Structure 1
């Protein structure tokens, strides 16, 4: 009897193997052959799902973004005060130790797209922009702030902390990171 394969699970397995290869060897080391080896699959099995390396990389990156978005949106459903929900959502943009690979892969991919001049938008900036505009429209932010500058400031803070943690330049616990972001939110919330 032939083995039944769940194609979505297989694609996710390949994508996660891609993340591991990129985190270990960089984007340059992410050949289809090295990814197949990491996934413990044949080259043909990987090519069955992805015709090109570019297609595989795009799928792997989409999976990173989808998983992060899903985690962020779970917080939006919480019945908590808006500032706490916002804080929880923003904390998802700073990966804990068990999701550092996602951040490494994301940075490699963004750099790759920048070099190819194919980066059209920054989804992190878009997400922060969306959150802040919704809060502002709901009348939850101080009226005297410059919303555009606050979005840039918050984005820079989040990216800066995440990048410095990834590089090992700062050693700071999640509670302290949370307190730093909360202080920024206190400054702009009513």
Structure 2
């Protein structure tokens, strides 16, 4: 009797193996051969799902985005005050704990797309634009803010913190990161 393979699970396994290789060896080490070895699959099995390295990288990045999005959506299901909800959502964009690998992969991928001059969107930026606009539309932000500048400022804070964490040069823990983001939210939120 032939073995039944769940193709979506197999593709996710390959994508997560891709993350591990990228986190350990960088994008340059993420050959189809090294990914197949990491996933404990044959080269042919990997090529069955992904014809090119580009397809594999695109899928691996899509999976990162989906996981982060799912975690953010989970926060929205909790009955939290808007500022705390926003803080929790933004913390999902910062590489603490198990999210370090996601950010390593994300930065490698963005660098790759920049080198190819093919970076067309930034999911972190899009997410921050969405959050700020939602908060503003709900009347939760201070009046007179320049929303475009606030988006840039918050995006720079999140990206800067992420980079500092990955570099490991500046010692900073999750509590300090949370306090810095909270301080920024305190600055733009209406009191309360």
Tell me which interval the TM-score lies in, with the shorter structure as reference length: over 0.9
Q: 1:97 offset after TM fit, Å? A: 2.2
Instruction: Determine the C-alpha separation between the residues in 1 that align with 2:169 and 2:90.
Output: 21
Q: 1:95 offset after TM fit, Å? A: 1.8
Instruction: Determine the C-alpha separation between the residues in 2 that align with 1:66 and 1:107.
Output: 16
Alpha-carbon displacement from aligned partner over 1:100-142 (angstroms, at most 9, x marks no partner): 1111110000000011111011110110010000100110000
Alpha-carbon displacement from aligned partner over 1:124-177 (angstroms, at most 9, x marks no partner): 011001000010011000012111111100110011011101100222221111
Q: What is the match of residue 20 of structure 1?
A: 20
Q: What is the match of residue 53 of structure 1?
A: 53
- Residue 8 (str. 1) matches residue 30 (str. 2): no
- Residue 103 (str. 1) matches residue 94 (str. 2): no
Residue-pair matches, total: 190
Say what the alpha-carbon RMSD is for the aligned residues: 0.8
- Secondary structure at 2:98's aligned position in 1? helix
Instruction: Determine the C-alpha separation between the residues in 1 that align with 2:15 and 2:76.
Output: 27
Between 1:37-46 and 1:71-80, the stretch displaced more is 71-80
Q: What is the match of residue 62 of structure 2?
A: 62
Instruction: Determine the C-alpha separation between the residues in 2 that align with 1:178 and 1:59.
Output: 30
Instruction: Determine the C-alpha separation between the residues in 2 that align with 1:170 and 1:92.
Output: 20
Instruction: Determine the C-alpha separation between the residues in 1 that align with 2:161 and 2:33.
Output: 34
- Secondary structure at 1:187's aligned position in 2? helix
Q: Structure 1: any 5+ residue segments left out of the alignment?
A: none
- Secondary structure at 2:145's aligned position in 1? coil
Between 1:165-174 and 1:155-164, the stretch displaced more is 165-174
Instruction: Determine the C-alpha separation between the residues in 2 that align with 1:48 and 1:179.
Output: 47
Instruction: Determine the C-alpha separation between the residues in 2 that align with 1:170 and 1:73.
Output: 30
Q: TM-score w.r.t. structure 2 length?
A: 0.96
